Amino acid sequence: MKAWQAISGITLITAATVLIEIPRDTWATSATISLILGATALACMAMSCILASRWRIVEQMFGGLDQLYQTHKWLGIWALVFAAYHLVFKAKLDSWDIVPILELPRYWTRLARQLSIVALGLIILLALNRNIAYNRWRWLHKLSGPLFLIVILHWLSFKSPIILASPSGIWLAGLCTVGIIAAFYRLLLYPFFAPGGEYKVASVSHGNKAVHLELAPVKTGFPFQAGQFGFLAMKEAGLREPHPFTIANAPSDTGNLHFVIRALGDYTQKLKAQVKVGMSANVFAPHGRFERIAGAKREIWIGAGVGISPFISWLDDKAHGHFERASLVYCFDPSRAFPSLERMQQMADKAGVRLIPNPSGGEALATAIRESATEVDPHQVQVSFCGPQGLLKRVKELMKENGIPAKNLHYEFFEFR
C-alpha cells in the first residue's frame, strides 16, 4: 500500500460515512466539506499513530517500514491541511441535527477546539524540523500520542451530526481507539515487547569516519533475511536512543550481527568514538523488505557510501545463489571509502559477483547500466539501489535512457526523520 492509496482510502471512507448523516441538499456546502475534512484529519492522525507502532502486521501491509514511515509523514501533513480548512470554515448548518457526543462546558469545548489545531501543528512542525538534535526530537515527537488525545476531545465535545452509533461515529471511534493503543504501546511498552534481542559487542573495526561492529547474542539471536535492518540501542549513557542500521551480513549459525556505520551525525560520531568490545546493546528487528528479485536475467546492485551495507549481506547470502547474473556497482568517495575497495573486491570475488568500482565523478555506473541493457532484454534487467536521493534520481534517468522499465527499480527509503 502506498501513501496516496492510504490517504485516498481514508478520505473516501470518511466522506461516505459522513454524508450518510446529513441531508443530501446540504452536501455541496462549505460546512459539509469542513465536516468531512475535520473528520478526515482525525482519521489520518489515528492512522498515523497506528503506523508509528511498528507492528509487524502493519509493516507487511505497506511493504516495509520505509514505505510505512513515508505514509506516516504524509498522513500528518495532509491532516494539517484538512484541519486548516476545518478551522477556517464552520462545520455547522441550521438544518442539521447537531449534538455533542460528550457534553462539556462551552469554555472547555472552545478550548479543546483551539488546542487541537495547535497540537496538530506542533506535531507536524516537530516531525519535519531537522534542526532539532535527534535525542531531543525523538522525545518531543513522542508527545504526538498525548497531543492526539486533545484532538479526540475536540471531536467528542464538538456539536455535529455525527453520533457515536452512526457509521461515521463507529469508523472514527474504532480508528481512534486503535490509534490510542498504538500510541501508548509505542510510548511505554515498545522496549519490552518489540521483536529483537540483547547483544554484546564482540568486535570493533574503525575506518575513516566509519565503524564496523560485530554483535553476539547474549542468549539467542532472531531470524532475519539478508538486506533487512534493525534499530540499534546501546546500553550506554548518551547512546540509548534506537537508530536504524542495515544488518551487514546474512544469517549464520552463531547468530552474530554486523553493522557498518558511517559517522555522519552527532549520534553516530559519538558511537564511533565510544563503542568498545563488551558493551551491551538491544537490537529491535528485523525490519524492511530489501530482497533480491527472483527470476531476473541480469541484476545490477548499486550501493553508495554506507548504502553498500545491504549488498554486503547479499554477498554473504549463499542460500539464494545465482551470483553469476549480478554486478555490484560500488559508488564511493576514495578519501573515506569504508569498507575499502580492496575489501569489497575480496568479498565480491568470494561470492562470484562482478564488482564495478565507481569513485566520485566516475562513469562506471552509467556504463554498467548501458552494457546490461544491451547484453539482455532491458525488461529482464533488475536494478537494486541503496544510497542518497540525488544518486537515485541519476539511476532513474539512466534506466529510462536505456529502456529499463521504472518498475524494475527496487529501493528503500532509509530516512526515518
CATH fold group of domain 3-193 = Four Helix Bundle (Hemerythrin (Met), subunit A) (1.20.120)
Nearest to 352 by CA among 317, 395, 323: 323
Under a CB-based contact definition with an 8 Å cutoff, are residues 286 and 228 in contact? Answer: yes
Which residues of the chain form CATH 3.40.50.80?
298-411
For 85-88, the CB contacts below 8 A with 24+ separation are 85/33, 85/34, 85/37, 86/34, 86/35, 86/37, 86/38, 86/41, 87/117, 88/34
Architecture of domain 298-411: 3-Layer(aba) Sandwich (3.40)
In which element (H, E) is residue 399 found? Answer: helix 389-401
Residue spans of beta strands (DSSP E) within 98-177: none
Residue 46 predicted with pLDDT over 90: yes
pLDDT band at 342 (very low <50, low <70, confident <90, very high): very high
d(CA 207, CA 272): 10
**pLDDT tens across 172-182, in order?**
999 999 999 99
What dotted CATH number matches 196-287? 2.40.30.10
* Mean pLDDT computed over 55-74: 88
| 126-170 residue pLDDT tens | 766 666 666 676 767 777 788 889 889 999 998 999 999 999 999
Please, where in the chain does CATH 2.40.30.10 lie? 196-287
Q: Determine which of 94-98, 110-114, 157-161 has the lowest per-residue pLDDT on average.
A: 110-114
Q: Where do the CATH 1.20.120 domains begin and end in the chain?
A: 3-193
pLDDT in tens, 382-409: 999 998 888 999 999 999 999 999 999 9
